Amino acid sequence: MNIPLKLTVLGGLGEIGLNLMLLEWEGQLLAIDAGAMFAAERSGEGALLIPQLRHLGQDGSKLAGVVITHAHEDHIGALPYLLRRFPTPVYGTETTLAFVRRRLAEAGGASTADLRPLAPRSRFSVGPFEVEPIRVTHSTPDSVALAISTPAGIVIHSGDFKIDPDPIDGEKFDHQRFAELGSQGVLLLLSDSTNIERKGRSPSETSLGPTLRELMSRSRGKFFLSAFSSHIHRIRQVAEISHEFGRRVAPLGRRVTESVRIGTDLGHLNLPPGTLISPGEAEFFDPHQLTFVAGGSQGEPLSAMMKLATETHPRVRVNAGDTVVLSSRFIPGNERAIYQLINDLYRRGAEVFYDSVAPVHVSGHAYQDELAELIQLTRPKFFVPIHGEFRHLVRHLSLAMETGIPERNCFLLEDGQSLILKSDDAHRGPSVPADAVVVESGDRMVAEKVPRRTTLGRS
Ligand SMILES: [Zn+2]
Ligand SMILES: [Zn+2]
């Protein structure tokens, strides 16, 4: 094959956030993910960073489609801006597309988008590429990796993943398919580097059950749990345990309420009838009969959790005897706001549990042994670590070498850099501008570029 395949990274390699990568063959482009991240150094809601999109329309190249691996903001957040400039089909699982629809509606552009559902193990074509989604486990339902057949060979993009042996929905990581592709021959593996610093394997999502049960059994009052709103498995888990204890479950906050609706519509929640109630119905129950799933585990200023902590929530109060569980990690940069939130919740008389005092959160990203396992399953010729800060990428590259990929076949790429691939060769290509772009809420795009090394936010 004389015409080489080109891989260009526009975001997500050098920071965790704003993921966007392009595969190009004969001027036809396939984009993988289109994410955003919050600009932590800027105050104000809606100050978002998205990848630099200028490169997309250049050199006469044409975007044939965007394939989305899963519903997290760092993978879908830039779609409204991308589609406005480059209308193109968007492919994702039903769950992912439900969140994409919500994201587009927030930015006022849902109706015109060409959204096409994909399913694990069902191949489809995008330009010259044939894409096969492969089921992985992660902290939002229906997440997939992608095996992309290109004229140069098979490229596997891991998406965000962990290898959860016991997922809440029973939908397991598809070992078999990765292994089959490995025997067939994989040209390139692109793999999630988020948790490369953590030894061993990540705990299963179901491992949270005993802790949540224990905390709920001790709670005399209302039980509050705050997690990322798209973590439908966690919402399901706390709702099922609540049902065991005779508690009804009410969502608090716009995003959590929408996630509960999406989860119910698509069958991910599957709760006994009557388990879910509205916050308005909660007043008919005693405190020990109630669980609230609330948004705002990062201490976001206008979130339900913050309103509860500051006694400004219109319907619900936190009182002595209540239990609050912050079931997510503290994203760096948010610690001050979160500790303030915890202090205020204690002031209301609640008992508060969070990651550093009780095992109330597990990560959705693979640890070292799982990352090595994916490399061993797929046995790629070439390897590029993705989804990480620079230090994560460096460590993941070392792991790949220890796992048997020759050093000359491992490439450390950063945003703006490219790789030229043939079936038996890979080398670095030219760089393109990849400074992140600040967008405000609504559709105003500010002509202001942010040099990568000064961005502090993480999403
Ligand atoms: Zn991600
Ligand atoms: Zn994710």
Instruction: Answer whether residue 117 shows pLDDT above 90.
Output: yes
Tell me the C-alpha distance between 434 and 415, whole Å.
Answer: 6
CA of 138 to the centre of ligand 2 (A): 7
pLDDT band at 455 (very low <50, low <70, confident <90, very high): very low
Average pLDDT on 53-81 reads: 93
Instruction: Answer whether residue 457 shows pLDDT above 60.
Output: no
Tell me the C-alpha distance between 5 and 69, whole Å.
Answer: 21
- Cβ–Cβ < 8 Å for 343, 310: no
CA of 380 to the centre of ligand 2 (A): 23
* pLDDT score for 441: 53
* pLDDT score for 233: 97
* pLDDT score for 1: 55
Instruction: Answer whether residue 238 shows pLDDT above 50.
Output: yes
Mean pLDDT for the chain overall: 93
CA of 219 to the centre of ligand 2 (A): 31
- Kindly report, residue by residue over 388-442, the tens digit of the pLDDT: 999 999 999 999 999 999 999 999 999 999 999 999 999 999 999 998 998 865 4
Which residues are placed with Cβ below 5 angstroms of ligand 2, an ion? 72, 160
3-state secondary structure of 343: helix
Structure tokens at 149: 């057949």
Structure tokens at 193: 């580097």
- Cβ–Cβ < 8 Å for 158, 136: yes
* pLDDT score for 108: 80
Tell me the C-alpha distance between 174 and 268, whole Å.
Answer: 19
Instruction: Answer whether residue 265 shows pLDDT above 50.
Output: yes
* pLDDT score for 111: 73
Residue 458 sits at φ, ψ, to 5 deg, of -135, 145
CA of 459 to the centre of ligand 2 (A): 10
Average pLDDT on 14-35 reads: 96
Average pLDDT on 265-270 reads: 94
Tell me the C-alpha distance between 342 and 325, whole Å.
Answer: 10
**Residue 459 Cα distances to 66, 88, 364, angstroms:** 20, 25, 14
- Which one of the ligands is nearest to 231 CA? 2
Residue with token string 């609504």: 442
* pLDDT score for 6: 97
Tell me the C-alpha distance between 142 and 155, whole Å.
Answer: 20
Its pTM stands at: 0.94
CA of 75 to the centre of ligand 1 (A): 6
Query: In the chain, what is the greatest distance between 2 CA atoms, to the nearest angstrom?
Result: 72
Average pLDDT on 261-282 reads: 95
Instruction: Answer whether residue 47 shows pLDDT above 80.
Output: no
CA of 111 to the centre of ligand 2 (A): 25
pLDDT band at 40 (very low <50, low <70, confident <90, very high): low
* pLDDT score for 454: 38
* pLDDT score for 2: 76
- Which one of the ligands is nearest to 16 CA? 1
CA of 285 to the centre of ligand 2 (A): 36
- Which one of the ligands is nearest to 459 CA? 1
Average pLDDT on 196-222 reads: 97
* pLDDT score for 446: 45
Instruction: Please give the share of the chain, as a percent, with pLDDT higher than 90.
Output: 86
CA of 242 to the centre of ligand 1 (A): 29
- Cβ burial of 312 (10 Å; 0-12, 13-18, 19+) is exposed
